[in-house]
């Protein structure tokens, strides 16, 4: 799977317990069960990054 479109974006500041939604576009390169991974969120106030591996899996049909 390959991310498409804008891959770096800024979200609004979130307070404790709040959430934000965002859309991702993926390009399937090969058929089969594919993992979606490689997302990194950066907390700019604390200057910390959080990596998310294997967010989900997607079945790509030929």
pLDDT tens profile 43-54: 888 999 999 888
| 56, β-bridge pairs | 36
Tell me how far apart the alpha carbons of residues 54 and 39 are, in angstroms, rounded to a whole number: 9
Are 55 and 1 a contacting pair, CB within 8 Å? no
Q: Where are the domains of the chain?
A: 1-6+23-62
Helix H or strand E segment including 56 = strand 56-60
> What's the CA gap between 36 and 26, in Å, rounded?
9
Q: What is the pLDDT of residues 1-14, one digit of tens each?
A: 788 877 788 888 88
Query: At which residue do the structure tokens 């390169």 appear?
Result: 29
């Amino acid at each position: 799977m390959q991310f498409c479109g804008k891959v770096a974006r800024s979200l609004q500041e979130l307070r404790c317990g709040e959430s934000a939604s965002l859309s991702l576009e993926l390009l399937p390169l090969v058929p089969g069960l594919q993992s979606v991974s490689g997302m990194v969120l950066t907390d700019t106030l604390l200057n910390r990054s959080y990596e998310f591996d294997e967010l989900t899996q997607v079945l790509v049909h030929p």
